[in-house]
A and B are shown apart, each in its own frame.
Chain A
Amino acid sequence: MTAEPKVAKSPAMIEARGVEKWYPNGFHALRGVDLTVQRGEVVVIMGPSGSGKSTFIRTFNALEEFQKGSITVDGIALNDDLRKIDAIRREVGMVFQQFNLFPHLSVLDNLTLAPVLVRKRSKGEVLNQAMALLERVGIAEQAHKFPGQLSGGQQQRVAIARSLCMEPRILLFDEPTSSLDPEMVREVLEVMQGLAADGMTMVVVTHEVGFARQVADRVVLMADGQVVEEATPERFFDHPQHERSRQFLSQIL
């Protein structure tokens, strides 16, 4: 069940083949997952809780290890080589469900910390870029505040800007709006929509059906550590092929 690649010519951004993961207590979290993400694609992964979708995307930037299979990100193979892992982490940004902003640093310092330390850039030039990014996500006036003073929606937008400040090629989103009050979900989804329109490669784990319909190039359903179905949004939501997909959709729609 392969989907049509968006851009057939360039090499894939993420190439995952037969990924399997066991937790130390023996639980088989990922049972042979395949996924290919092309440059500029927006892939939405959905599924019931415990399906392994968060675990799966966390293998892309080595936050989770896997025992079998292969993952290649932007042409770099994920293995035990720490240099490769560092290289991959520089190119892959992640936005977390709990935002994970650094509470002891100001918003601006949150953004500039990594580029200065990791890409060894000068604080001055990073500051300009950071301010531009804060403008882009719509919270430039909060630049000198601390995360504790911001609302959930604002914090998540800062988190997105923080990831963007490292100029990643791919952005991973792990249930970015699940911790937000309903009225703040929209402002975050709008930012994400803007990023997709600008051509960012994105893999998003979410329950937001509206976002998937409008922005995703492909929707992937995972359950019990496996990919159940992969299709374009129209086909997935309107004509699901698998019983498991129908079951899942009936619960969320």
Chain B
Amino acid sequence: MPASLRKELFATPLDGVVTVLLITGLAAAGSRLLHWALTQADWAVIQANSTLFAVGRYPIEQQWRLWLLGALLAAAAGLSWGVLRGLALPDRPTTALWPRHDRLAASLLVLLAAWAPAALGLTLTIQSRWWGLTGLLLLVRWLAGRYGSRLGKTAPLVLPMVWPLLYLVGMVLIGGGLGLVAVGANEWGGLLLTLVQASFAILLSAPLGVLLALGRRSSLPLLRWGSVVYIEFIRGAPLITLLFLGQNILGFLLPGGMAPDRIWRAAWILTFFSAAYLAEAVRSGLAAVPRGQLEAARSLGLSLPQALAKVVLPQALRIALPATVGQFISLLQDTTLLSLIGLLDLLGTARSVMANPLFLGKSAEVYLTLAVLFWCCCAALGLGSRALERRLNPPSLGR
């Protein structure tokens, strides 16, 4: 046994015993799980309902729009990935086009595209569409990495514009309008609904959260106390209670009959909820920017909005980035609460699937699949955030 391994695992007799116990325990549990997954588990429940899980009851003849959106998403993801990778850092010339981590990620994506659709029992046409999406993502990533440096200074601005724009385009593609057949919100379901809710809340709560954070630090009493009351009220209430409030009371607050759809009520509640937590994250970012920065900017003649936009916020948002992305990840996870108010997000769809007598008792398979799906999404977001953070706060910035 190599010396380093021995030191790590068997340094003392007690260590040795603990290690042996843990290894045997893990091996036993692991093999039981694997045995169950490969022999006893009935994965048909996933295969039979894959469309339901993915897009709910979205009309089949309109699903081509979702594929189009998928392609746009893949392109945008590849673009972001490539641009971020290609961003030349001040103290480092452009890095290699496909560094080790990227090659690893790319191969994982290819493997996933090859295995997952087949494992889900999808038809060959649909499988090839998934291959196409993956190929598109990698192609755009390559192009962006190769030619992204031509964008120069505008590069960091491209991304914050692409995603909101994509969201708007996506809403038209999903919901209808501009010549496309309308598909009502109550027909959206599964992963589609989860992503729509999460992206709506993320995009709208970001500016609201920044405003609240600025208000919280304002010297004007009304703005400060208003922000405090809002933030503390939201943070003191469980999300399910607020969702409950949204479903039941929002209707009363608007002139009779004007209550928005249940789905949008929930989306707005998620937005207001997330904004309060975001405000706290941005606030600590703002507090970490030294006062002298604002003073220097003002003494140079910049107006308050200019000083905030060009000097204070860029620094504050960089510092607040990990906490902000953490809040977005929480938001993605919080969408599961929609299942408790009767909406058919991913978890809600799962429960309705299991109410089907055909699939009764298959809860383990379904919940495990969902757990893996969520874990992959959230972990990927977390990794991306850490990578972004490293890019934005290189040691050369002196932090």
Q: Which residues of B contact A61 (CB under 8 A)?
A: 299
Q: Please determine whether A117 and B90 come into contact, CB atoms closer than 8 angstroms.
A: no
Q: Which residues of A contact B299 (CB under 8 A)?
A: 61, 63, 89, 92-94
Within the assembled complex, what's the spacing in Å between the Cα atoms of A103 and B201? Answer: 32
Q: Please determine whether B397 and A102 come into contact, CB atoms closer than 8 angstroms.
A: no
Which of B34-42, B205-213, B227-235, B287-295 contacts its partner?
B287-295
Within the assembled complex, what's the spacing in Å between the Cα atoms of A89 and B290? Answer: 20
Within the assembled complex, what's the spacing in Å between the Cα atoms of A145 and B397? Answer: 10
Contact status of A94 and B397, CB under 8 A, knowing A146-B90, A149-B91: no
Within 382-399 of B, Cβ neighbours of A (below 8 Å) are at 395-399
Q: What's the minimum C-beta distance from A147 to chain B, rounded to whole angstroms?
A: 6
Instruction: Answer yes or no: A106 CB below 8 A from chain B CBs.
Output: yes
Within the assembled complex, what's the spacing in Å between the Cα atoms of A106 and B396? Answer: 11
Q: Please determine whether B314 and A145 come into contact, CB atoms closer than 8 angstroms.
A: no
Q: Please determine whether A100 and B292 come into contact, CB atoms closer than 8 angstroms.
A: yes
Q: How large is the interface on A (under 10, 10 to 19, 20 to 34, 35 or more residues)?
A: 20 to 34
Q: What's the minimum C-beta distance from B208 to chain A, rounded to whole angstroms?
A: 24
Q: Please determine whether B398 and A118 come into contact, CB atoms closer than 8 angstroms.
A: no
Q: Please determine whether A103 and B296 come into contact, CB atoms closer than 8 angstroms.
A: no
Within the assembled complex, what's the spacing in Å between the Cα atoms of A16 and B138? Answer: 66
Indicate the member of B90, B301, B306, B398 with the most A CB atoms within 10 Å: B301
Closest chain B residue to A114 by CB distance? B300
Within 270-314 of B, Cβ neighbours of A (below 8 Å) are at 290, 292-293, 295-303, 306, 310-311, 314
Instruction: Answer yes or no: B57 CB below 8 A from chain A CBs.
Output: no
Q: Please determine whether A117 and B292 come into contact, CB atoms closer than 8 angstroms.
A: no
Q: What's the minimum C-beta distance from A106 to chain B, rounded to whole angstroms?
A: 7
Within the assembled complex, what's the spacing in Å between the Cα atoms of A101 and B315? Answer: 12
Q: Please determine whether B302 and A103 come into contact, CB atoms closer than 8 angstroms.
A: no
Q: Please determine whether B397 and A103 come into contact, CB atoms closer than 8 angstroms.
A: yes
Q: Which residues of A contact B90 (CB under 8 A)?
A: 106, 144-146, 149
Contact with B along A96-116 (1 / 0, CB 8 A): 101011111010000001100
Q: Which residues of B contact A63 (CB under 8 A)?
A: 295, 298-299
Q: Please determine whether B315 and A114 come into contact, CB atoms closer than 8 angstroms.
A: no
Within the assembled complex, what's the spacing in Å between the Cα atoms of A144 and B300? Answer: 21
Q: Which residues of A contact B295 (CB under 8 A)?
A: 63, 96, 100
Q: What's the minimum C-beta distance from A93 to chain B, rounded to whole angstroms?
A: 7
Contact with B along A42-69 (1 / 0, CB 8 A): 0000000000000000000101000000
Instruction: Answer yes or no: B65 CB below 8 A from chain A CBs.
Output: no
Q: How large is the interface on B (under 10, 10 to 19, 20 to 34, 35 or more residues)?
A: 20 to 34
Q: Which residues of B contact A149 (CB under 8 A)?
A: 90-91, 396, 398
Q: Which residues of B contact A145 (CB under 8 A)?
A: 90, 396
Indicate the member of B296, B310, B318, B397 with the most A CB atoms within 10 Å: B296
Contact status of A94 and B296, CB under 8 A, knowing A103-B399, A146-B396: yes
Indicate the member of B295, B300, B310, B311 with the most A CB atoms within 10 Å: B300
Contact status of A117 and B302, CB under 8 A, knowing A146-B397, A149-B396: yes
Within 70-98 of A, Cβ neighbours of B (below 8 Å) are at 86, 89-90, 92-94, 96, 98
Contact status of A104 and B318, CB under 8 A, knowing A94-B299, A113-B300, A118-B301: yes
Instruction: Answer yes or no: A177 CB below 8 A from chain B CBs.
Output: no
Q: Please determine whether B300 and A162 come into contact, CB atoms closer than 8 angstroms.
A: yes
Q: What's the minimum C-beta distance from B305 to chain A, rounded to whole angstroms?
A: 11
Contact status of A89 and B298, CB under 8 A, knowing A104-B397, A117-B306, A147-B398: yes
Q: What's the minimum C-beta distance from A38 to chain B, rounded to whole angstroms?
A: 22
Within the assembled complex, what's the spacing in Å between the Cα atoms of A101 and B395? Answer: 16
Q: Please determine whether A100 and B296 come into contact, CB atoms closer than 8 angstroms.
A: yes
Instruction: Answer yes or no: A194 CB below 8 A from chain B CBs.
Output: no
Within the assembled complex, what's the spacing in Å between the Cα atoms of A145 and B90? Answer: 7
Q: Please determine whether B296 and A96 come into contact, CB atoms closer than 8 angstroms.
A: yes
Q: What's the minimum C-beta distance from A226 to chain B, rounded to whole angstroms?
A: 25
Q: Which residues of A contact B292 (CB under 8 A)?
A: 96, 98, 100
Contact for B301 among A86, A96, A98, A100, CB less than 8 A: A86
Q: What's the minimum C-beta distance from A219 to chain B, rounded to whole angstroms?
A: 24
Instruction: Answer yes or no: A18 CB below 8 A from chain B CBs.
Output: no
Q: What's the minimum C-beta distance from A35 to chain B, rounded to whole angstroms?
A: 19
Instruction: Answer yes or no: A166 CB below 8 A from chain B CBs.
Output: yes
Q: Which residues of B contact A102 (CB under 8 A)?
A: 293, 296-297, 311, 315
Closest chain A residue to B309 by CB distance? A117
Contact with A along B355-378 (1 / 0, CB 8 A): 000000000000000000000000
Within the assembled complex, what's the spacing in Å between the Cα atoms of A119 and B300? Answer: 10
Q: Which residues of B contact A114 (CB under 8 A)?
A: 297, 300-302
Within the assembled complex, what's the spacing in Å between the Cα atoms of A146 and B297? Answer: 17
Q: Which residues of B contact A106 (CB under 8 A)?
A: 90
5 CB < 8 A contacts A-B: A93-B300, A98-B290, A102-B296, A102-B315, A104-B397
Task: Give the 10 A-B residue pairs with the shortest CB-CB distance, closest first.
Answer: A148-B398, A100-B296, A114-B300, A100-B292, A118-B301, A94-B299, A89-B301, A90-B301, A148-B397, A98-B292
Where the two chains meet, the residues of B that have a C-beta atom closer than 8 Å to any C-beta of A are 90-91, 290, 292-293, 295-303, 306, 310-311, 314-315, 318, 395-399
5 additional contacts, CB 8 Å, given A86-B303, A100-B295? A63-B295, A98-B292, A104-B315, A106-B90, A146-B90
